[in-house]
Structures are given as C-alpha cells and as structure tokens.
C-alpha cells in the first residue's frame, strides 16, 4: 500500500489490520484488464451499499417521526442515489486514491465510479475495523446532511431526472406524469401536470409547456420529500 494511502486512512483514525482490503476498495474492475489477479472493489461495494442504506434509514427514522414508510423510503433514495454518493466520495477525497485501468482518464472519473468507491470504502472499513466503528463513522458523516435535508432540499438543476433516479434507486421502478389540464389560446396555452408513483400523486405543477409543468411537478415532489 502506498504511504499516501496509509496517511489518508490515518485521517479517519484507521490503522489497517489488512492493508490489502483497502487497496482493493480503491481498485476499479478495469484494472484487471491491465494486471491480472489484482482483485477489485465490487464485493466490498456490495457490503458498503447495504451499510449506507441502513445508516441513512436509521437517521431518517429518528429525524422524521411523522413520516410513514413510503415517505421515508423515497427520502432515503435521495441520500443514496448516484449523484449524492459521488459527492460524498469527493467530500472525503476518496477520488484522489482510485486506481483505474488504462481505459479511464484519472481526471474524468464518472459519478457511478465515485459512488462505487464510496460504498467499497465503507465495505473495507467494515471488514477491517468492525461494524461498530464503521457504523459510527457513517452516522456521524451523514447526520448533519439529513438534519439539514441536504439531499432533496438542494435546488436541483433537473428535478425530473433527480426524482426518477430516486425512485429507480429505491424501488427499481419509474414515476409517471399526466397532463391534468390544458387551457388558454393555442399561442398561449397553460398546462397542469402531476407526477405519480403507483397511482399516488407526488406533486403538481403549472407551466407554459408540458415539459415545464412536469418539471415543476417533479420539483414540488422533491420539496415534499424534504419536508419543506
């Protein structure tokens, strides 16, 4: 393990028992195409994915006592979706230690890879240091984000994509949109749209085009999920 990675782990108070598990946590599968037998982060990612999901669910349950199971599930999805976890990886500087194969450019790491490495880092932390330590770390890292509603409460540049990704991440299913009303002359129409999941209306918006109305409906749904 490179000394820079050892120094990096020390910033989290981690003295590795098994250096190789952390090396693996930062090794993208593409490396196997260049150097056989190295191993990669995919199994550790599986562990970390379950861990972050549990921790976020735990924190949301405590933070939002009036929300029901469905509302908590949708809110949870915002904190564990690709864009969110990629931002966590950058915040923790995990991106600076990822080992990629020759097919990648190091300065252009996709969000899905950053998401994977965030999860694999947690998986390695769990295997090497134990559940109590890594769970305490995740709770501490996430508590203020959830308290402040950082996930869905942030202004989204593309509310429709954000909403869709949230539902795909949690339920593996999509939301649907419906135009409820269309009014005004042909050159100046107004549309009212609603967004639904399994027949339940999540949000509603009004705009000068169907796209604008749907975007505003998605934005309202995101704000509702954030408890705003």
User: Of 38-42, 92-96, 118-122, 184-188, which range is least confident?
Assistant: 38-42
Domain count of the chain? Answer: 2
Instruction: Give the pLDDT confidence of 91-132 residue by residue, as tens digits.
Output: 999 999 998 877 776 567 899 999 999 999 999 999 999 999
Percent of the chain at pLDDT exceeding 70: 89
Does 210 share its domain with 132?
no
Domain that holds residue 110: 3-153
- The CATH number for 211's domain is 3.30.160.20
Does 201 share its domain with 138?
no
User: Which pLDDT does position 128 carry in this prediction?
Assistant: 97
SS3 content of the chain, % helix, strand, coil (to 5): 60, 10, 30
| pLDDT reading at 222 higher than 80 | yes
Q: Which of 55, 49, 16, 23 is nearest to 37 (CA)?
A: 23
- The phi, psi pair for 182, rounded to 5°, reads -140, 120
Does 213 share its domain with 142?
no
Q: Supply the residues annotated as catalytic.
A: 49, 119
Report the pLDDT averaged over residues 54-63: 94
What b-and-e string marks burial along 70-84, b requiring 16 or more CB atoms within 10 Å of the CB?
Answer: eebbbbbbbbbbbbb
What confidence tier does 154 reach under pLDDT thresholds 50, 70, 90?
low
| pLDDT reading at 164 higher than 80 | yes
**17, 128 contact by CB (below 8 A):** yes
User: Which pLDDT does position 1 carry in this prediction?
Assistant: 43
Does 129 share its domain with 17?
yes
């Amino acid at each position: 393990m490179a000394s820079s990675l050892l120094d990096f782990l020390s910033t989290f108070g981690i003295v590795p028992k098994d250096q190789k598990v952390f090396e693996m946590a930062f090794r993208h599968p593409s490396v196997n195409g260049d150097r056989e037998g190295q191993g990669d982060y995919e199994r550790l990612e599986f562990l970390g994915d379950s861990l972050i999901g549990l921790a976020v669910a735990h924190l949301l349950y405590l933070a939002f006592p009036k929300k029901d199971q469905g509302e908590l599930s949708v809110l949870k999805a915002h904190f564990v979706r690709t864009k969110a976890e990629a931002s966590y990886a950058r915040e923790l500087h995990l991106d600076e230690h990822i080992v990629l194969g020759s097919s990648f450019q190091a300065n252009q790491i996709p969000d899905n890879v950053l998401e994977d490495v965030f999860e694999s880092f947690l998986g390695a932390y769990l295997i090497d240091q134990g559940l109590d330590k890594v769970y305490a770390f995740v709770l501490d890292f996430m508590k203020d984000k959830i308290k402040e509603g950082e996930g869905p409460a942030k202004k989204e540049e593309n509310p429709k994509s954000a909403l869709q990704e949230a539902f795909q991440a949690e339920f593996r299913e999509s939301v649907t949109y419906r135009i409820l009303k269309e009014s005004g002359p042909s050159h100046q129409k107004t549309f009212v749209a609603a967004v639904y999941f399994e027949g339940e209306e999540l949000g509603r918006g009004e705009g000068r085009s169907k796209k604008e109305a749907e975007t505003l409906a998605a934005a309202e749904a995101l704000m509702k999920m954030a408890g705003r």
